[in-house]
Amino acid sequence: MSNGHTSLPQYSPVLIVGAGPTGLSLAVELARRNIECLLIDRRPEPLPFDRATVIHSRSLEIFESMGVIDAFLERGHLMRGFNIFAYGQIVAQTDFNGLECRHPYDLNLSENETEEILTERLVALGGAVARGWELSSLEQSESHVTAQLRSTNGTEQTVTADWLVGTDGIHSRVRESCEIDVDGHRYLRRWGVIDGHLKDWQHAPDRAAIQIEAPALNPIPLPRERWRIYFRADDDIDNAALLEQINAGLEILSPGSRLHEPDEPMLYHTYRQLSAHYQSGRVLLAGDAAHACSPIEGHGMNMGIHDSFNLGWKLALVIEGIADAKLLDSYEQERRPAAAAVGASGDIAEELRSIPNDPAAVERVKRALCAMLTTSRGQLQAAQAESELELHYRDSPLVSGYHSAGDAARQHWLGPLPGDCTPDAGPLLKPGSAEAVQLSQLICNEGHSLLWMATDQTEVPDFEKFHHILQACGEFWIISTAPPPEFLPESSLQEFWLHDVEGKVHARFGVIDASLFLIRPDGHIAFRSEPPELARVASYFENLFN
């Protein structure tokens, strides 16, 4: 890790401005693929505290692909759901245990610790963060971007990059330099956050609490038996009055509870924003530089991480010369609608949490939440929305499907569609092994994964065609509800055979007849074919790369 007193390289294939979770995730994704990048941040040292806390299920899947999941699980606190309170009574609940994924929970960890883990991973991959450097200005041509950088000690340096990515937050200098318009609004009331211990807390330590009525607290469990409390704050309130307000709310939620050993409260305004574009020439935006949403649903940091996971593999293919730069068009086409949907959801949540301090208004919101969350279906929908596993790219030009019976037959497909996030399932057994693996473990690689879903022992691909396709794929697997035959047409196919012993993988994918699924490096389904046709996979790669 360097600082503003150290000179920077004059050239880098990628310059990333901003070393928060978004910028670090992108740097890790590039480093995993041996793409050199320069990651800078204007702060001489990382912030010792930040307000983002909740890491959702989909982000945990991403961290598993990055190779950092063990560190997150070791340091974070598992949260299994949340309780909604009205005047001290639990009126509704959401439980994450019903999620069918590898990580059916939220993981709570301070953003600064998330940054520490990602920084350690980047360093292990040979990368670094250059701290104490900020962007002064940039110019670009058809072939490169020229960035003027300034250090904390006043040193100036010019860096040329093939691509520049702005991950520098809601007031992005990169976005301003490219004159990219941004629409949105500021929420009227400030949010506040404070950490501390809760004495005599009477509720489950693996569930957050959401208080409907004023003072509208959200206590969130953290590691080491600490809690992070989010609250609304008037502009003219002082710290003493804030603590009195927080303790009054805790008394309602859990009589006798008080906040002990609190940190200094941090107050901030929040925004909903969406950039008109995510790309201008050779400059791209990600994270808060591209979009911002209400913190009430905990999506902000997670969405930035997802941006980087979407962009990283595409940018790597372009830099390596494997794919045309037009591939990057799909980044905005896929991620901007997702940000718009999350922003709209945040507006609705803000409206629900901005009710008058009046029993009739509280009762109305209580009835609305109960209507949504008292059924098993409502519970599951709320958990899926929280997890971000349901966000898809079905409308992307980068995904497609084929059915031999025509397009009408595709309308009756069961299971995930092209553009959806790949579901997890198992167990899967390799020939001669008693150790079972889950599907999600097989697709954690830097390239595409091809799943040939067979329903008997005879539905195997031609080895020569398979070998050709394998050159474009990171992984190839034959997944069958039958064990492998003693003699395959090509014995070398035996090592790619996986036995879906209980049929759960086929069931999750909606496979009735033999099918094929091509999985992108970011875990979304790129192509689905019924029956399997390797020639169509070859055509998909030709279009992707050219």
Kindly report, residue by residue over 78-92, the tens digit of the pLDDT.
999 999 898 888 988
Those residues with Cβ within 8 angstroms of residue 369's Cβ, 6 or more apart along the chain or in another chain: 84, 91, 92, 212, 352
Tokens 């880098």 locate to: 12
Kindly report, residue by residue over 105-164, the tens digit of the pLDDT.
999 999 999 999 999 999 999 999 999 999 999 999 999 999 999 999 999 999 999 999
Query: Does residue 494 register a pLDDT over 70?
Result: yes
Kindly report, residue by residue over 249-279, the tens digit of the pLDDT.
999 999 999 999 998 888 888 889 999 999 9
Tokens 């022992």 locate to: 457
Query: 194: helix, coil or strand?
Result: strand
Residue type, 394: R
- Locate all alpha helices (DSSP H) within 103-183, ordered by sequence: 111-124, 173-177
E-strand spans in 322-418? 400-403
Q: Which residues pair with 452 in a beta bridge?
A: 478, 516
Instruction: Decide the pairing of beta strands 11-17 and 156-166.
Output: parallel
Q: Would you say the pTM of this structure is higher than 0.85?
A: yes
Kindly report, residue by residue over 407-448, the tens digit of the pLDDT.
899 999 999 999 999 999 989 998 777 789 899 888 888 999
> What pLDDT sits at residue 143?
95
For 312-332, what is the mean pLDDT? Answer: 96
Query: Does residue 500 register a pLDDT over 70?
Result: yes
- For residues 349 and 489, the model is more confident at 349
- What torsion, rounded to 10 degrees, do the Cα atoms 131, 135, 136, 138 define? 150
> Average per-residue pLDDT in the chain?
90
Cβ atoms of residues 442 and 424 within 8 Å: no
Query: Does residue 356 register a pLDDT over 80?
Result: no
Least confident of 238-247, 367-376, 421-430: 367-376
> What pLDDT sits at residue 41?
97
Instruction: Decide the pairing of beta strands 400-403 and 525-530.
Output: parallel
- For residues 364 and 317, the model is more confident at 317
Q: Pick the closest to residue 453 from 374, 372, 507 (CA basis).
A: 507
Instruction: Decide the pairing of beta strands 227-233 and 218-221.
Output: antiparallel
Reading phi first (left if > 0) and then psi (alpha if -120 to 50, else beta), residue 68 is in alpha
Query: Does residue 464 register a pLDDT over 80?
Result: no
Separation of first and last alpha carbons in the chain: 37
Cβ atoms of residues 129 and 115 within 8 Å: no
Query: Does residue 468 register a pLDDT over 80?
Result: no
Query: 545: helix, coil or strand?
Result: helix
Query: Does residue 77 register a pLDDT over 60?
Result: yes
CA 184 distance to own-chain centroid: 22
Residue 427, preceding bond cis, omega within 30 degrees? yes
Structure tokens at 505: 């993988």
**Composition of the chain by helix, strand, coil, percent to 5:** 35, 25, 40
Cβ atoms of residues 60 and 301 within 8 Å: no
Distance CA 426, CA 501 (A): 8
For 509-535, what is the mean pLDDT? Answer: 94
> What pLDDT sits at residue 488?
59
Query: 405: helix, coil or strand?
Result: coil
> What pLDDT sits at residue 5?
53
Assign 236 a pLDDT band (cuts: 50, 70, 90): confident
Query: Does residue 457 register a pLDDT over 80?
Result: no
Distance CA 271, CA 293 (A): 6
Cβ atoms of residues 389 and 100 within 8 Å: no
What is the share, in percent, of the chain residues with pLDDT greater than 70?
Answer: 95
Query: Does residue 4 register a pLDDT over 70?
Result: no
Cβ-based neighbour number of residue 188 at 10 Å: 10
